Structure 1
Amino acid sequence: MKRDTLDHKIKITNDIMFYIYTNIDTDINMDELAQHYGISKFYMHKIFKEVFDRNIYETVKSIRLQKASNLLLTNRYSTISEVANACGYSSQTSFIRAFKERFSMTPKVWRKGGYLEYSNKIVDHSLKIRNSTITIDNFDDLVPTIVKMPQRQAYYIRHQGYNDAIKQAWQKIQTWIYSNNLEEYDQISLYHDNPSITSLEDCQYVACVVDKKDQTLENSRLPKFTIASGVYAKFTLEGACGDLLRFIQWVYHEWLPRNEYETTTKPPYALYRKNKYLTEDGNFDLDFYISIKY
């Protein structure tokens, strides 16, 4: 396959994936989506399956349920029907049926504590976590600052799976940074999925770089998207490999419900001062931003 053709397919499918994530609360019409990108619906489904190895309909269903599983935990004052509507379900009955099929329990059981056993199985499945000395209680003294963040334009590489292969995506980002002679930039990891309640191999991880000077680049091969503006809780932390996954579990399962904040469907992201994927010791120093409302 020619490089230009491959890059074109990757750009379109990444744009489609980004559209799905940012519009998951709406009725996503496949005909309109294909028309928006100037391609046939058949071709859209074909290249999406080629790039992501799964079809669009299953992807939309999976993302809706992932978002719903988060909102059921953090948005304590929202009814199950309201959570269903926020994630694009027009029928509470169909939502409950799909949720039970995915998580082997009803939304009501999940909200009452069923999520804990489900989450711990996923987190403990990670070898990094089993080797980590950090527990969820280690973060109880963390106090965030509440900030209003601007919209940011980022170049990115999408990676499926929360695993060691993420390092390869960051190495490609670093190569791209050097080839464009960027001097002032931010490295950001964006988490479309919550890795503490989503199977690690199914998580969509996005490695991003923001050019602070917003200059014209010689190598524009990487696709570009927008990191959403809004109100965020900003946590500053340092740690070793595995610790961040425990921290994310704590944020969603402990900090948000305890402090009566609700989250939104905007993805959280981490801004690195020290990127664990580009250092020999595997340690990180970062600010973690999670979208909130009160």
Structure 2
Amino acid sequence: MATYQARCIKILDYIDTHLDTDLNIDELCAYAQVSKYHFHRQCSVFFGVSLITLVRLLRLKRAAYQLAYRNDSRIIDIALSSGYDSHEAFSRGFKKHFKQTPSDFRQSPNWEAWQVTYAPILHIRNQIMSDNMDYTVQTVTFPHTPIAVMVHKGAMQRLGITIQKFIAWRKANQLPPNKSQTFNLLYDDPTATPADEFRLGLACSLPRSIDTNDTDVTVDSIPAGLCAKIRHVGSDDTIGLAVNYLYGEWLSQSDFELRDFPLFFERVRFFPEVLESEMITDIYLPIQ
């Protein structure tokens, strides 16, 4: 069983890092050392979906993020990068899985339908990571950092709407990620907070002072101080496991206590600009 699981994990890792290529079944079988006569059935049992569906959903996830958050990307270009030969084929495939055409999704994304479709992959990634947790924790001093914050309040399924608003605000104020660090402030635990009360801060550093007349954006700061840090490489699907590790196993075995500031992320490399496997997020837990 361990060997079978390890091979399936290798397949998922390979797919994650080669989504931009023409994935070949013979190549995948050779890489994972799996017989092609049993390959599809093994993958379907382990992943909960067929291999073809798995690849399609991973590509469509990136397409959904590009549609929602990258308005300068043309739909036909997103279609071609997702493995479709035409706008029409992409539109049919996208609507089949997410109940909206790409154009409709770009105008008004239904993230709830998207999350239901994507649930099998989320489940398997968390299962894999929970069986293979290996985190390196550093203690670092984080500098005082002025930030602009837009607070999302409400169900996680509607977070995408707030992200769109914050991206638009950053563009209007000329604060792109290459000039301003990007942060998330985790005020609440989504597993322990009623959906309508859940809060998460979307933030960016302020390299210069600004006046904001936007009632949704406030000027604040991340205070200087000691933090426990994990560098998380890969999809956000499993980032919650790293957070739980800091609060649980690591903190209980350390001599530190928590400071009065929420755990926060710094987004170093972004999806969909890079593949999910290439995302980098630094997780900071304020301690003393």
Question: TM-score w.r.t. structure 2 length?
Answer: 0.50
Larger relative contact order (Cα-Cα within 8 Å, sequence gap ≥ 6) = 1
